[in-house]
Amino acid sequence: MKKLDYGSLVAAGIAFVIGSAGGYAINELERDDRIKELEQEIAQIKKVQRQPTFEVPNDSEASAAIAKSGRRIHISECKPRQTVPGVTCTGIITTTNGSFAGTTQPGTLSFAKIDSTWVQIQ
Protein backbone atom coordinates (compact mmCIF):
# COMPACT_ATOMS: atom_id res chain seq x y z
CA MET A 1 0.00 0.00 0.00
CA LYS A 2 1.01 3.52 -0.74
CA LYS A 3 1.38 5.99 2.03
CA LEU A 4 -0.56 9.27 1.61
CA ASP A 5 1.76 12.26 1.27
CA TYR A 6 0.24 15.03 3.36
CA GLY A 7 2.91 17.54 2.28
CA SER A 8 1.73 17.41 -1.33
CA LEU A 9 -1.88 17.63 -0.22
CA VAL A 10 -1.17 20.68 1.95
CA ALA A 11 0.82 22.32 -0.86
CA ALA A 12 -2.06 21.73 -3.29
CA GLY A 13 -4.52 23.19 -0.76
CA ILE A 14 -2.37 26.29 -0.24
CA ALA A 15 -1.96 26.74 -4.01
CA PHE A 16 -5.73 26.47 -4.42
CA VAL A 17 -6.41 29.09 -1.73
CA ILE A 18 -3.76 31.48 -3.10
CA GLY A 19 -5.02 31.00 -6.67
CA SER A 20 -8.60 31.64 -5.60
CA ALA A 21 -7.63 34.73 -3.62
CA GLY A 22 -5.54 36.04 -6.53
CA GLY A 23 -8.37 35.46 -8.95
CA TYR A 24 -10.77 37.23 -6.62
CA ALA A 25 -8.42 40.21 -6.27
CA ILE A 26 -8.00 40.52 -10.05
CA ASN A 27 -11.75 40.24 -10.54
CA GLU A 28 -12.32 43.00 -7.96
CA LEU A 29 -9.82 45.30 -9.72
CA GLU A 30 -11.56 44.72 -13.05
CA ARG A 31 -14.93 45.29 -11.38
CA ASP A 32 -13.75 48.59 -9.85
CA ASP A 33 -12.49 49.75 -13.25
CA ARG A 34 -15.80 48.82 -14.88
CA ILE A 35 -17.76 50.63 -12.15
CA LYS A 36 -15.71 53.80 -12.70
CA GLU A 37 -16.26 53.52 -16.46
CA LEU A 38 -20.02 53.10 -16.00
CA GLU A 39 -20.14 56.07 -13.58
CA GLN A 40 -18.43 58.22 -16.22
CA GLU A 41 -20.92 57.09 -18.87
CA ILE A 42 -23.84 57.89 -16.55
CA ALA A 43 -22.42 61.35 -15.85
CA GLN A 44 -22.08 61.97 -19.61
CA ILE A 45 -25.67 60.85 -20.25
CA LYS A 46 -26.97 63.13 -17.47
CA LYS A 47 -25.00 66.03 -18.94
CA VAL A 48 -26.53 65.43 -22.38
CA GLN A 49 -30.03 65.13 -20.89
CA ARG A 50 -29.70 68.52 -19.19
CA GLN A 51 -28.99 70.25 -22.48
CA PRO A 52 -32.08 71.09 -24.53
CA THR A 53 -32.09 69.18 -27.79
CA PHE A 54 -34.43 71.61 -29.50
CA GLU A 55 -34.27 75.30 -30.28
CA VAL A 56 -36.79 77.72 -28.74
CA PRO A 57 -37.61 81.35 -29.47
CA ASN A 58 -36.98 84.05 -26.88
CA ASP A 59 -39.70 86.54 -25.92
CA SER A 60 -38.77 89.11 -28.55
CA GLU A 61 -38.55 86.53 -31.37
CA ALA A 62 -41.91 85.02 -30.43
CA SER A 63 -43.50 88.48 -30.04
CA ALA A 64 -42.18 89.51 -33.47
CA ALA A 65 -43.78 86.35 -34.93
CA ILE A 66 -47.22 87.31 -33.59
CA ALA A 67 -46.91 91.11 -33.92
CA LYS A 68 -49.22 91.22 -36.97
CA SER A 69 -52.05 89.88 -34.83
CA GLY A 70 -51.60 92.71 -32.33
CA ARG A 71 -50.19 90.58 -29.53
CA ARG A 72 -46.94 89.88 -27.73
CA ILE A 73 -45.95 86.98 -25.48
CA HIS A 74 -43.83 86.44 -22.40
CA ILE A 75 -42.82 82.77 -22.64
CA SER A 76 -42.69 80.60 -19.54
CA GLU A 77 -42.04 77.20 -21.17
CA CYS A 78 -41.58 75.63 -24.61
CA LYS A 79 -41.84 71.96 -25.56
CA PRO A 80 -41.10 70.31 -28.90
CA ARG A 81 -44.12 69.42 -31.02
CA GLN A 82 -44.66 65.69 -31.41
CA THR A 83 -45.89 65.34 -34.96
CA VAL A 84 -44.51 68.38 -36.81
CA PRO A 85 -41.38 70.51 -36.53
CA GLY A 86 -41.43 73.41 -34.11
CA VAL A 87 -42.24 74.09 -30.48
CA THR A 88 -45.36 74.80 -28.48
CA CYS A 89 -44.86 77.59 -25.94
CA THR A 90 -46.98 78.61 -22.99
CA GLY A 91 -46.88 82.02 -21.44
CA ILE A 92 -48.69 85.30 -20.86
CA ILE A 93 -50.10 86.85 -24.05
CA THR A 94 -50.72 90.60 -24.05
CA THR A 95 -52.96 92.35 -26.57
CA THR A 96 -51.17 95.42 -27.99
CA ASN A 97 -53.79 96.87 -30.40
CA GLY A 98 -57.50 97.55 -30.45
CA SER A 99 -60.06 98.07 -27.74
CA PHE A 100 -58.57 95.24 -25.65
CA ALA A 101 -55.01 96.67 -25.71
CA GLY A 102 -53.23 95.91 -22.45
CA THR A 103 -55.31 92.82 -21.72
CA THR A 104 -53.23 89.84 -20.60
CA GLN A 105 -54.16 86.19 -20.44
CA PRO A 106 -52.34 82.86 -20.27
CA GLY A 107 -52.10 81.05 -23.56
CA THR A 108 -50.34 78.51 -25.73
CA LEU A 109 -48.89 79.22 -29.17
CA SER A 110 -46.83 77.15 -31.59
CA PHE A 111 -43.76 78.40 -33.42
CA ALA A 112 -41.35 77.06 -36.03
CA LYS A 113 -38.08 78.44 -37.32
CA ILE A 114 -38.19 78.96 -41.09
CA ASP A 115 -35.18 80.46 -42.89
CA SER A 116 -33.67 81.61 -39.56
CA THR A 117 -36.88 83.43 -38.56
CA TRP A 118 -39.44 82.31 -36.00
CA VAL A 119 -43.03 82.23 -37.27
CA GLN A 120 -46.29 81.28 -35.58
CA ILE A 121 -47.80 78.02 -36.81
CA GLN A 122 -51.19 76.46 -36.22
pLDDT of residue 4: 61
Calculate mean pLDDT across residues 9-35: 76
Residue positions counted in the chain: 122
Does one domain contain both 64 and 117?
yes
Q: Which domain holds residue 69?
A: 59-121
**What pLDDT does residue 89 have?**
93
The set of residues, in sequence order, having a beta carbon less than 8 Å from that of 113 and lying 6+ positions away, is 55, 57, 86, 119
51-75 pLDDT, tens digit each: 556 788 999 999 999 998 899 999 9
* Count of domains forming the chain: 2
Q: Is the per-residue pLDDT at 80 higher than 80?
A: yes
Asked if residue 64 and residue 117 are part of one domain, the reply reads yes
* Shared domain check, 2 and 41: yes
Backbone angles phi, psi at 5, to 5 degrees: -95, 100
> Same domain, yes or no, for 36 and 89?
no
pTM greater than 0.75? no
